[in-house]
């Protein structure tokens, strides 16, 4: 079946512009996660959705970052007024589990490579 998809695969933007990154999880997966992979910080958790709610936003690095999820499916990560330090690969993952379980496998998408000039 189809895996997690993300778009765009690459995004180049100018400092100060806003960007939107999209994630389409595996059908039926209720949990959705965003992570960031950068040279300096490695892989970092950003935010977790259960359905359309985001009970854990603790990893968002600043108030310029926001995310939403609609219809219990597609999620959009928005970065406002981008900075050069936002350059990274943004990975989305989804997992089964209506209530979430610690051992649940997270399935990752291919990522969006964001470059801020």
Of 42 and 71, the one with the shorter C-beta distance to another protein is 42
Q: Which residue number, 45 or 74, has a Cβ lying nearer to another protein? A: 45
Residues 9-68 that bind another protein (CB under 8 A): 31, 33, 35, 42-43, 45, 48, 50, 53, 55-56, 58-59
Q: Rule CB under 8 A: is residue 8 a binding residue for another protein?
A: no
DSSP secondary structure string, the chain?
Answer: ----EEE-SEEEE-TT--EEEEEEPPTT--EEEEEEEETTTEEEEEEEEETTEEEE-TT--STTEEEEE-TTS-EEEEE-S--GGG-EEEEEEEE--SS--TTPPPEE---EEEEE-
Query: Where along the sequence are the contacts to another protein (CB under 8 A)?
Result: 4, 31, 33, 35, 42-43, 45, 48, 50, 53, 55-56, 58-59, 91, 93, 95, 97, 99-111
């Amino acid at each position: 079946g189809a895996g997690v998809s993300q778009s765009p695969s690459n995004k180049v933007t100018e400092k100060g512009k806003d960007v939107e990154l999209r994630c389409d999880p595996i059908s039926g997966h209720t949990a959705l996660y965003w992570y960031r992979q950068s040279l300096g910080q490695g892989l970092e958790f950003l935010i977790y959705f259960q359905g359309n709610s985001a009970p854990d936003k603790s990893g968002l690095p600043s108030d310029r970052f926001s995310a939403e999820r609609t219809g219990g499916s597609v999620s959009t990560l928005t970065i406002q007024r981008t900075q050069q330090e936002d350059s990274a690969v943004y990975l989305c993952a989804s997992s089964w589990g209506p209530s979430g379980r610690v051992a649940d496998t997270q399935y990752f998408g291919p990522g969006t490579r964001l470059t801020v000039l």
